Structure 1
Amino acid sequence: MHFTEYHTRLAAYALIVDENERILLTWFNGNDRNEPCWSLPGGGVEYDETVEDGVVREVLEETGYQVVLGDPLTVHSFTAPGEPDRPLPYKSVRIVYRGTITGGTLGTLEIGGTTDFAEWKSLDLEGPRADIVDVAIAAWRSHRAR
């Protein structure tokens, strides 16, 4: 299928793990396609910004923290068929960067968005979480094992 025949969503996230091996997560409040759950700070990259600028902006909005990014940790993509409200098929490309906090205070700055709050959680998090959390943790553990 040619790229003009489907929609693409580019998203970027930061995996931020502290010295106690806790992960910084955000609470996604859900929408018509997805139930509320824990997710990584990050999200859709705007048309007029770089991928790196997009994830830095999203982290600040969703967590209150300023970050610097390390190398990309992993890239994950998936496809979905068209639906009545989105007739073209859909491809999601998600890039996860390592992130390091350089300033700010924990607290969501986003108003009226999809993130209600952010918290430090155990890497062995139980409960509802977006698949990107598991993708990022697996990549992080794989890189640590090397």
Structure 2
Amino acid sequence: MEFTDYHTRLAAYALLVDERERVLLAWWNGEGHSDPEWSLPGGGIEFEESVRDGLVREVFEETGYHVEPGPLVAEHFFTARGRSFDGWFRAQRFVFDATITGGELGTTEVGGSTDHAAWVPLAELGGQPRSEIVDVALAAWRGEEARR
């Protein structure tokens, strides 16, 4: 399929794991078309933003934290049929290591796709509903291949 035959959604996410072996996650509410699940903080990049600027904005909206993006940890993509338009789309996702530089835990967006954020112990993540991007990021962080 040629690039002119599908839509593209760019998204950036932050992987934040603290010294207590907890990962910062955002509770995605499913937006009325999917089951809710944990995801990494982050999301869609606006047309006029760089990927890193979009990451900073999204993380603040979803978690209340200001972050400084670090190195790229993982890239991931998937393809699907569009929900809000006819045809196919490709979701291209970038996961960055990040450092918290300020703020405090608390979702700042109102009426958005994130209900709350929390530090979730890695040991308790196994049975939790979660987006594939969480597994992709943690596998890259551990130097493994993503699996569920």
Q: Please tell me the TM-score bracket, short chain as reference.
A: over 0.9
Return the alpha-carbon distance in structure 1 between the equivalents of residues 142 and 16 of structure 2: 13
In the other structure, the counterpart of 1:71 is 71
Return the alpha-carbon distance in structure 2 between the equivalents of residues 119 and 81 of structure 1: 31
What do the CA deviations read for 1:77-109 (whole angstroms, capped 9, x no partner)?
Answer: 1112456x5321111100000011111010000
Relative to the length of structure 1, the TM-score reads 0.92
Return the alpha-carbon distance in structure 2 between the equivalents of residues 76 and 90 of structure 1: 14
Q: How does 1:6-17 map to 2 (within 5 A)?
A: 6-17=6-17
Q: Secondary structure at the match of 2:17?
A: coil
Return the alpha-carbon distance in structure 1 between the equivalents of residues 135 and 142 of structure 2: 10
Return the alpha-carbon distance in structure 1 between the equivalents of residues 48 and 29 of structure 2: 26
1:14–1:82 distance in 2 versus 1, CA, 3 Å: closer
RMSD (Å) for aligned C-alpha atoms: 1.4
In the other structure, the counterpart of 2:93 is 94
Letter in 2 for 1:35: D
Return the alpha-carbon distance in structure 1 between the equivalents of residues 53 and 143 of structure 2: 26
- Count of residues paired in the alignment: 142
1:5–1:98 distance in 2 versus 1, CA, 3 Å: same
In the other structure, the counterpart of 2:115 is 116
Runs of 4+ in 1 over 6 A off after TM superposition: none
Question: How many percent of aligned residue pairs carry the same amino acid?
Answer: 58
Return the alpha-carbon distance in structure 1 between the equivalents of residues 42 and 14 of structure 2: 6
Q: Secondary structure at the match of 1:66?
A: strand
Q: How does 1:119-138 map to 2 (within 5 A)?
A: 119-124=118-123, 125=125, 126-138=127-139
Relative to the length of structure 2, the TM-score reads 0.91
